[in-house]
Amino acid sequence: MGDPGTKEVISLADLQAAAAGARTGRKHVLSLVVQNRPGVLVRISGLFARRGFNIDSLSVGPTDDEKKSRITITIDGATHPIDQVTKQLHKLVNVLKIRDLEPEDTVAREMALFKVGVENGSGRAEVLQICNVFRGKVVDITKRSLIIEVTGTPDKIEALEEMLLPFGLIEMMRTGQIAISRGRDET
Amino acid sequence: MRAVDAIMECLKAEGVEVVFGYPGGANLPTYDAFVDAGIRHVLVRHEAGGGHAAEGYAKSTGKTAVCLGTSGPGATNLVTPIMDAMMDSVPVVFITGQVRTDLLGTDGFQEADILGITMPAVKHSWMISDPADIPQAIHEAFHVASTGRPGPVVVDIPTDLSKADIPYVVGQDTPLDLPGYQPKFEGNMKQIRQAARALAAAKRPLLYVGGGAIAAGARDEVRELAEATGAPVTCTLMALGTFPAPHDQWIGMPGMHGTRTANYTMDEADLVFSIGARFDDRITGKLSEFAPNAKFIHLDIDPAEIGKNVPAHIPIVGDAKQVLAKLIPEYVSLDADRARLDEWWERIHAWQAEYPLTYEKSDDSEIKAPFAIESVYEASGGNAIVTSDVGQHQMWTAQRYHFAEPRKWINSGGLGTMGFGLPAAIGAQVGNPDDLVICVTGDGSIQMNIQEMATATQEGLPVKVVIINNGYLGMVRQWQELFWDKRYSHVDMRPEQAPVPDWNKLADAYGWTGVRLEKKETLLEDLRAAFATEGPVLIDVRVAREENVYPMIAPGAAARDMVG
């Protein structure tokens, strides 16, 4: 198709298009490199708010270049047109690069802290056992509580949350995902 | 030199001849610099008027306009024109004063976070924290505003920083640092060839031209493509004049108050070539039933517009002028048989014959609004720059002033801002001193920025304002009549004792000529005389009170179901 000089007639019926606002039906991890300037995060979060895009998680941090920051956004492709999200993000002058990371080519991690109540020591041994299975770390311990630190995929963290719930989960904090592409090439 | 003097030098380096604005506490340093700068400054009477005047200047000349305001309320008064310029892709650089840096964040007097407030309404914005950055920010602002898809930008400068001394040499080269801003102009050649072949294969094609064609300066290319393909052409409200309305291939404007022919053509087309248009809801009506038989070629410089509302079968990201210049020879080389469009044209001509734009004529002296617009067209020779406000008069003008050239029709399309027309006319007249500039407005809209009459007087701008005066907020009344069982709620602007204001007295108060026109028999002559009168003229045209704009696609309905 479209070779230089071709005069072959095409059939309009054969032209295909992605439906406007197509949904992919899966979670997407968008990795952004942005200029490290005041207001950049506001521009991005404001864009999501006014276009009606919901952010599942968002994390921001410095990179090896002090002029640039990395933003990792997880967004649901079942409810949002990812194509439109990335095109709108690209219009922001401070956004330098966007990658929609393919799950199989990506290492994605998040960290979570769980504060679990262990009144009178009941259940503590069992909680520690679960913690071990999930390769978690106990980072604080009192007579009445434990704090567990764990890293992993969102699935793993949600599984641990479910296991800890019956023991009296006091609170939980999650960082949101960060993600890096596999292999030698830059994300 | 002082940063403010450097700003003046930067403006001159950008080719700025005129600035619209209003001084205040926080931008006093900038105004001090104007004393010696040798740049024309138009003192408006309200910052919103300044913003819209800048838009009128930019839209009518194609140049990037500049508008100044002070901090706090001066800046917040600019929010409407900034959003208006965003929606209609108008290149305007807004420079606002800000409170001193030591007061920032303390709720200081006349402090407003204008960057935060305008973030959803700008293409980009700059907050100055180091005065040495000011020249670079100004040049970057012009670059971003005027290239790619044009739009408004804001540069916010704290007053203490604007007074600072900075190392700046007149004529210096100031490099830009915009690594994340790289608009694409050229268009993918493979896609362009594919588009040419699709056009050659289409039996029921339509060229659907939007404001992007004007921004790209693609007037000649649009006309060439139209004539090469023989396809019917429709222009959106933003693009009227890009293709001449008096032309065999012109089928009128599409959309809510477009012609039946344009909407039916869209409805039955097998290929719609969108050139810098964005498939706004006022065009598509019910999206699921819009152009159900069509494949879409979507050419736009903004990739985010492609596939946003309708699917794009052949997307082309690029500048309309550059892309069409490559596409036309590709199309011509295919030797497509023009006779294949004969049936299509038969169908279109039948619609044109059956559904001309019409209205019920009065059998007495009463002036019907559509007749008033037809008379404005005739009396002005059809080549005036026409600005409008928002409402019935705007749609009647779009339908009946048959624009033959781009940048002659200046209106607020996307945001639909009442109060746009008069200041926009002022800006257009500043940019086009030798043209006849007419503002067609309503008795509602004109009162939203009426204070700008003083600006026209002071600047000696001979704008002609035609008030289509029906004593109603006419478009709202029309919707209440059609969709709310005639339950008129707060749309009557004519108290029983007498119309307010007395427009002739108001004209007099502002140093304008005022005329009241009430008879259709003499309307054309009276308009001619008014347009020939020196200086600004306020023309109060009393029209039939309850006239509706037709035809119409009811909100959310399909084009096929047009009424009236």
pLDDT tens-digit profile of B289-321?
999 999 999 999 999 999 999 999 999 999 999
pLDDT in tens, B2-12: 999 999 999 99
Rounded CA-CA distance B5/B167 in Å is 11
Whether A95 and chain B come into contact, CB under 8 Å, resolves to yes
Model confidence band, residue B416 (pLDDT cutoffs 50, 70, 90)? very high
CB contact, 8 Å: B144 with chain A?
yes
Residue B35: what residue type? V
**Residues of chain B contacting residue A90, judged by C-beta atoms under 8 Å apart:** 303-304
Whether residue B180 and residue A95 make contact (CB cut-off 8 A), yes or no, is yes
Q: What is the DSSP letter of B362?
A: P
Q: Name B337's Cβ contacts closer than 8 Å, sequence gap at least 6.
A: none
Assess B197–A contact: CB distance below 8 Å, yes or no: yes
Work out the minimum CA distance from B352 to partner chain A, whole angstroms: 27
From the list B198, B309, B311, which residue is nearest A18 (CB)? B311
Distance CA A43, CA A50 (A): 11
What is the structure's pLDDT at A7?
Answer: 67
Nearest CB to B309 within list A6, A17, A20: A20
- Strand ranges of the sheet holding B314-317, from the earlier edge strand across to the other edge: B233-235, B205-209, B271-275, B295-300, B314-317
Whole-number pLDDT of residue A5 = 56
pLDDT in tens, B491-525: 999 988 778 999 999 999 999 999 999 999 999 99
Distance CA(B513)–CA(B507), nearest Å, equals 6
CA-closest candidate to residue B86, choices B113, B46, B63, B119: B119
Banded pLDDT at A22 (limits 50, 70, 90): confident
A10: closest CA of chain B, how far (Å): 6
Alpha helices in A62-112 (DSSP H): 82-90
What's the pLDDT tens digit per position in B313-334?
A: 999 999 999 999 999 999 999 9
Q: How far apart are CA B494 and CA B480, in angstroms?
A: 17
In angstroms, the separation between the Cα of residue B294 and the nearest Cα of chain A is: 9
Query: Which residue did the predictor score with more confidence, A9 or B132?
Result: B132
Per mean pLDDT, which range of B269-273, B284-288, B322-326, B527-531 is the poorest? B284-288
Residue B478 — φ and ψ, nearest 5°? -60, -45
- Inform me whether the pLDDT recorded for B172 exceeds 70: yes
Q: Which helix (H) or strand (E) holds B481?
A: helix B474-483
CA dihedral sign of residues B13, B17, B20, B22: positive
Strand (E) or helix (H) holding B28: helix B28-37
What is the pLDDT at residue A4?
A: 54
What is the arithmetic mean of pLDDT over A77-84? 86
ipTM summary value: 0.89
Contact (CB, 8 A) for B245 and B349: no
Alpha carbon distance B211, B401 (integer Å): 17
Alpha-carbon distance of B193 to B334, in angstroms, equals: 10
Element (H, E) at A162: helix A154-164
CA end-to-end span of chain A, whole Å? 32
B71-103 confidence digits (pLDDT tens)? 999 999 999 999 999 999 999 999 999 999 999
pLDDT at A1 over 50: no
Distance between CA atoms of B544 and B519, rounded to whole angstroms? Answer: 11
Instruction: Assess contact for B306 and B313: CB atoms under 8 A.
Output: no
SS3 assignment for A39-76: CHHHHHHHHHHHHCCCEEEEEEEECCCCCEEEEEEEEE
Among A6, A93, A94, which would you mutate to test the B interface (most chain B Cβ atoms within 10 Å of its Cβ)?
Answer: A93
> Mind telling me how many Å the CA of A74 is from chain B's nearest CA?
20
Report the alpha-carbon angle B419-B210-B150, nearest 5: 70
- Cβ of residue A86 closer than 8 Å to a chain B Cβ: no
Q: How far is A99 from chain B (nearest CA, A)?
A: 14
Q: List the single residue in A21, A38, A90 with the smallest CB-CB distance to B127.
A: A38
pLDDT, mean of residues B522-533: 98
Mean pLDDT value of segment A41-63: 92
Is-contact B243 B326, C-beta < 8 A?
no
Residues of B62-76 as b/e, b for ≥16 C-beta within 10 angstroms?
A: bbbbbbbbbbbebbb
The tens digit of pLDDT for each residue in B225-280 reads 999 999 999 999 999 999 999 899 999 999 999 999 999 999 999 999 999 999 99
Instruction: Report chain A's C-alpha Rg in angstroms.
Output: 22
> pLDDT by residue (tens digit) across B445-456?
999 999 999 999
Q: Which residue has the tokens 């300037």?
A: A37
Pick the range with the lowest mean pLDDT from A120-124, B180-184, B390-394.
Answer: A120-124
CB contact under 8 A, B193 and A35: no
Q: Report strand pairing: A145-152 vs A106-117.
A: antiparallel
The chain-wide mean pLDDT, for chain B, equals 97
Task: Give percent of chain B above pLDDT 90.
Answer: 97
Q: Do the chains contact at B198 and A12, CB–CB below 8 Å?
A: yes
Strand (E) positions, B124-195?
124-127, 152-158
B526: pLDDT strictly greater than 80: yes
Q: Which residue has the tokens 């963290």?
A: A157
| Structural contact between residues B441 and B421, judged by C-beta atoms closer than 8 angstroms | yes
Nearest Cβ partner for A46 among B120, B200, B296: B120
Separate counts of helices (H) and strands (E) for chain A: 4, 9
- Name chain B contacts of A9, Cβ cutoff 8 Å: 197, 200-201
CB contact under 8 Å between A4 and B335, yes or no, is no
Nearest CB among B190, B197, B304 relative to A91 is that of B304
- Mean pLDDT computed over B145-172: 97
The alpha-carbon gap from A171 to the nearest alpha carbon of chain B, in Å, equals 33
Q: Span B457-472, mean pLDDT?
A: 98
Chain B contacts of A1, Cβ < 8 Å?
A: 190, 194
List the 239-278 stretch of B: residues with Cβ below 8 A of A: 270-271
How many other C-beta atoms lie within 10 A of the C-beta of residue B123?
Answer: 25
Among the partner-chain residues A21, A46, A93, the one whose CB lies closest to the CB of B178 is: A93
Chain A residue with minimal CA distance to B202?
A12
Cβ <8 Å between B307 and A84: yes
CB B213 within 8 A of CB B231: no
Q: What's the pLDDT at A2?
A: 44
Average pLDDT over residues A151-166: 94
CA–CA dist A83, B307 (Å, integer):
9
A94 contact residues in B (CB cutoff 8 A) = 180
* CB < 8 Å to A35, chain B: 179-180
Give the pLDDT score at B477: 97
**Sign, CA torsion B463/B468/B473/B474:** negative
* Distance from the B517 Cα atom to the nearest Cα atom in chain A, whole angstroms: 46
Q: How many CA atoms, within 13 angstroms, populate the side-chain half-sphere of residue B261?
A: 24
Burial class (CB in 10 A: 0-12, 13-18, 19+), B246: exposed
- Name the minimum distance, in Å, from the CA of B206 to any CA of chain A: 14
| Rounded distance between C-alpha atoms, residue B490 and residue B472, angstroms | 9
The two tokens of residue B481 are 């009549």
Contact B94, B101 (CB under 8 A): no
Share of chain A above pLDDT 70, in %: 94
**Token reading at A106:** 């990506």
Q: State mean pLDDT over B387-397.
A: 98
The reply to whether residue B295 touches residue A42, judged by beta carbons under 8 angstroms, is: no
The mean pLDDT of B49-57, rounded to a whole number, is 98
Is A143 in the B-facing interface, judged by CB distances under 8 Å?
A: no
Q: Inspect the interface and report whether the beta carbons of A10 and B197 lie closer than 8 Å.
A: yes
